[in-house]
Structure formats: C-alpha cells, structure tokens
Amino acid sequence: MPVITLPDGKQKQFDSPVSVAEIAASIGPGLAKAALAGRVDGKLVDTSFSVEHDATVSIVTEKDQDGLEILRHSTAHLLANAVQELFPDAQVTIGPVIEDGFFYDFAYRRPFSTEDLAAIEQRMAEISAKDLPVHRRVLPRDEAIAHFKNIGEHYKAEIIGAIPAGESISLYGQGSWEDLCRGPHVPSTGKLKAFKLMKVAGAYWRGDSRNEMLQRIYGTAWATEKQLKEYLKRLEEAEKRDHRRIGRELDLFHLQEEAPGAVFWHPKGWALFQSLVGYIRQRQGEAGYQEINTPQIMDRELWIQSGHIEKFGENMFMTKTPDERTFAIKPMNCPGHVQVFKQGLRSYRELPLRLAEFGKVHRYEPSGALHGLMRVRAFTQDDAHIFCTMEQVTAESVAVTQLILSIYRDFGFDDVRIKFSDRPAKRVGSDEIWDKAERALQDACAAAAIETELNPGEGAFYGPKLEFVLRDAIGRDWQCGTLQVDLNLPERLGASYIAEDSQRHIPVMLHRAMLGSLERFIGILIEHHAGKLPLWLAPVQAVVMGITERQDEYCAEVTENLKNQGLRVETDLRNEKVGFKIREHTIKRVPYLLVAGDREVEARTLAVRTRSGKDLGAVELNELAALLTEEVAGRGRIILEDRLSQRRSA
C-alpha cells in the first residue's frame, strides 16, 4: 500500500503498486493526458514505471525542461525508426539530445540527400500519427549483444560490449522497431508532433578520425508547433545576423586555413577591438585593478606544477627548443599572474591585490568545432586575478559581480542569468578545500543578493565559479563572464603573504573575466546588434560626403575637425551621386551620414542622416561635434538623433 507524496506535500495512498500514469490520472484527467514521464524519489522514469513502495513522485510534462529533453530523445528514436523503414540496410549508432534538438548517426552506403531528409521527415509524421505505444524490455548484457548481432546492428553490439558483464540492458521501441536505450521515453509516438529535420553531415564513429565515416542527421523538436515555428524564425534571424557574413560586409576581419582558429583583424575590426580594450581598461582601472603583461610561452614544468598539464594538457600547444627544452604556449593567464604576485615579500596590507591582463591565449579546438569568432584557437581574455584573504572574498566577489553587470548594461545586455558551477569530477585539491571555496562563493552570492542557478559539476578544475549568461536580441544565451574562487593554485605554485600574525599564509585567488574571449564577445555584439553597433563602438562613426567636388575642401575640414575630437570619421569624395554613396554607407551600417552641399558650406552646417534612413536636417558643425562626442560618452544612449528629432518636432 504505497503512500505517494506529491510536490505540493499532499499524499495519496494506493491499495497496490501503482504506475506513474495511474498516479497522474488520480490527480486529474488533464495531467494524465499531459504526462510524458515521472520523477520517483528524484529519478526520471517512464509513465509505465510501477511504484511499489512509499515515494515522492512528480509528473513530468512538456512544460518541464526534463519533459522537453524526453520529447527530443524520443524524437531521435522516431527518426531512427523512419530511417530504417525507408533504408533497411542502414545501421543505427547513437542519437543524443543536444541544445535545441537532437542528432542520430547512421552507417549507410551513401550520404543522405536533401530529398532523403524530406522523405524521412514525412515517414516520421506517419509513425507519429499512428500513436504507437512505446514499449520497454530488459535483456541480459550477453543476450542483448547476440540480439543486435543477429539483426545486423554491429555498432549497437559494440556499444553494449563496452558495458560491464552482468549488467542488464534496456531496449525501447514502438511497433516492431526497437533500439538500445536507457530511457525514459514518451508513452506513445503520438506525443511527438512538433519536429523538423535540419541537415545532414559526416561524423566519425566514436568521434575518431581513424574510424569509419557515418551520416549524422540533425533535427529539432519542441512541445508545440508554435514553439517550433518560433525557433525556426529565430534561426532565420540568426542567419541574417551571422557575424561572419557581416564581418565580411563591414571589412572587419577574416580567417584562413593557414592559421586555423586565429583571426586576421582588418583596420576597422581592430578599431572595434581596441574600443573594447580601452573601455575595459578604463572600467577596471577605476575599480582598482593594475594592468600587467606575462609571457606567451613558459616552461612545461610550471604547467605541471599548476596542474594544467594533467587536467588540460590535451588542449595545450607545446613547442621544443633546439636544446630539447619543452615550453607550453599559455592556454590561461593564471600561473603567470601568480609569478608576478610572488615577486618580493607580500604583506596583508597589500591585499586585495587586483592584477589584470589582456592576455593572448591558445587552446586546441578540433577543426570541426571552429566557428568564426565564436570558437577559435587563439583569443584574448580580459583576464584578472584578485589575491586576497578569506575575509575579503565576499566583498571582492560582490564588487566583481556588480562591475560585470554594469558593463553588460553598457553593451546593451539587460537580461543576464548567473549560474553557480560546483566541483567537477576532474579536479585538483581536497574535498575540504572545495567545501570551503564553494561556501565562500555562496556567501558572496547571498551578500550580493543575486539569484543563481545550479550548474552541477561544471566548475573549473581548481575551483567553483559563477558563470554570467547573456540573452541576446533574438533570445539566444551566451556564457561570457566568470568568477572563480581558487584555494588550490596559489598553494601549488608557492604563493604566500605575511599576515598580521607575522606568519606566512596562502592567499585566496579569485579568477575574473568579464567579456571572456574578446574575439567571441565581438562576434556576439555583431549578432546582437545585427551589425548596427552603437556609436561608441562603431568602427566608423560617421562619413562626411559632398554633393559635388565644390564641397571637397569643406568636407576635408569637417572630417579633420571631428577626428581631432576623438571621433572615427571618414570622408567620401568619390565622383559618385550622393544617393549612391548614402546607400553604400547605409549598407555598411555607418551610424551617421553627414552631407554637405553649397548651402551647408555657406552656413557651415551639415545635413545629418541616420543609417535607418531618417533625415535629421541641418546642424551647425560645432553643435554636431558636441552631440556626437556626448553620444559616444553615453555608451549606447541615442543623443544626437533624439535631440534633433525633438527640435524638429518643436
């Protein structure tokens, strides 16, 4: 007679073992219809799962993140079912859930075509419409291996072969089709209605280039057709905002095969890059940071001592000198900052010591993972390390958090989530040290009155961290800034200070990045603003152009005047019609177009147009310079257009 405790604390008693589906039905017919799975004493299970003892039970529906993941994984199985009905010789391998969807890898004699995808999606819809019950059965490991070998599924047999002997293996299926899977799955195929196949690509078996090439079909699945349409619309908008295309159009940067994952910055892109550096340099200078610079290459022994070789070595670039000495190209700035801290005898009176660096780092990323500015091998971090006492951790963490959030607002990001990432499986340091570090970071969050989401197991190998996640203009999330509490690295590298008791103590080391990778952040900015960067960031803030060559001298004078006031201004004196020039610079997303004709020369004014096509009328040169300068200082506030529009309205 199990007693079931529901999420609201209410209890239900049943006369005999009861399934999750029956528990949902006892609560109400609406919940019974919506149930996709259950969570019994914290474990996700199918709705057919029988609860035989007292337990805490919640019903999982499409409104839950778990429910969405189950829908997607079940849709991956629906895809595999459809493929094998249409292409009986195809073997299935693995089909996991990924962000916003799923994929499934198939072994087949030829690549799947676009026409194949359309046919597969149609067959998926047909299987869904049959509303076939999803069934589960369990086989002993060796029997499962024999079963899959008998039906020609050698990849599945290999997967099961890696599972320890004696384990039981679960299979899920619908109708006569079934597949190896841990589950859980939706109760029936009729629950799977809002899906779309996106693309097909090659993928090596087990991700190893020495293995055979498989066909990977990507898809997306959602709880409702409305959500699916909204997602596809976001993808369409993301394509328009692709930073790689906009980067070419605006002549900002390029990448090429001779330097995979490294950026060639063009003059305009480098101006944008330096704008970010200058801004961060100013903000962190005001916050008490001292800027340093550390070597690009350091002896491998230092990285062994720090723990990076053991925990991060496969992502590091190494080089040998003619005398066989091995050096590592730094993937992180932390060990170098500890070396600066260690120079001389440090006193507690010097703490907190805040050291910042725009450090260039290199990390190996597989070629297939590289993606424009978003995923590179060589990038620049706005990195800083704060050496402090344990008593100072809370105040420093609060100050860092407030600084990061303030900076994001200046860039136009108001929707920011913060994740708390605790200890990973692969880490250095004792559990006692990790307990202390995690508690210190949690106390700081409480003191700053910030809400966090738990991101279990995703801390750095040397300490827990906060991750700052930005939501952009089209609803995508980007993890950028981090704050990490480290009680391990200073000790490993021999850092210490003399405390008030005249004894040596090991400092706490706070790792802090606000933008993270400057290259990636520029890519995010470009896509967030669709290339229409606010005036203070725009590589070219205004273009001065004349209607005829009679205005050339005046245009050159205006350009020189504005440049002398720190503005990034260009002159367009080409022998082209002014309408052509306006269209061209509008496409290049220049914020303000300043036009001079004979009348403007005589009155020493300029006709001002915006990149959105608004004609703001004529403005006297000195006033224009003052308004532009004020708008640059306002970091994103529209000042020039608002002031001139108000004047015209009056």
Give the up-direction half-sphere exposure of residue 82: CA atoms within 13 A in the CB hemisphere: 25
- Where do the DSSP E strands lie in 121-263? 134-140, 168-174, 177-180, 194-204, 213-222, 253-254
Is the separation of the CB atoms in 193 and 220 below 8 Å? no
Give the phi and the psi of residue 426 in degrees, each rounded to 5. -95, 105
DSSP conformational letter for 190: G
Crossing angle (nearest 10°) for helices 518-528 and 267-286: 110
Give the phi and the psi of residue 485 in degrees, each rounded to 5. -100, 120
Is the separation of the CB atoms in 352 and 396 below 8 Å? yes
Is the separation of the CB atoms in 490 and 508 below 8 Å? yes
Phi-psi region of 100 (alpha: psi -120 to 50; beta: other; left: phi over 0): left
Residue 528 carries which side chain, given as an amino acid letter? H
Give the phi and the psi of residue 356 in degrees, each rounded to 5. -125, 150
- Concatenated DSSP letters for 217-255? EEEEEESSHHHHHHHHHHHHHHHHT-HHHHHHHTT-EE-
Active site residues: 334, 363, 381, 383, 385, 465, 511
Token representation of residue 238: 């993301």
Token representation of residue 155: 């990849």
Beta strand 508-517 pairing with 378-388: antiparallel
- C-alpha distance from residue 63 to each of 60, 109, 390, 610, 619 (Å): 8, 40, 42, 44, 55
- The answer to whether the Cα torsion of 357, 298, 365, 452 is positive or negative is negative
Please calculate the CA angle 271-273-277 and round it to the nearest 5 degrees: 110
Give the phi and the psi of residue 253 in degrees, each rounded to 5. -165, 170
- C-alpha distance from residue 238 to each of 111, 269, 468, 538 (Å): 27, 21, 22, 20
The H or E element that residue 375 is part of is none
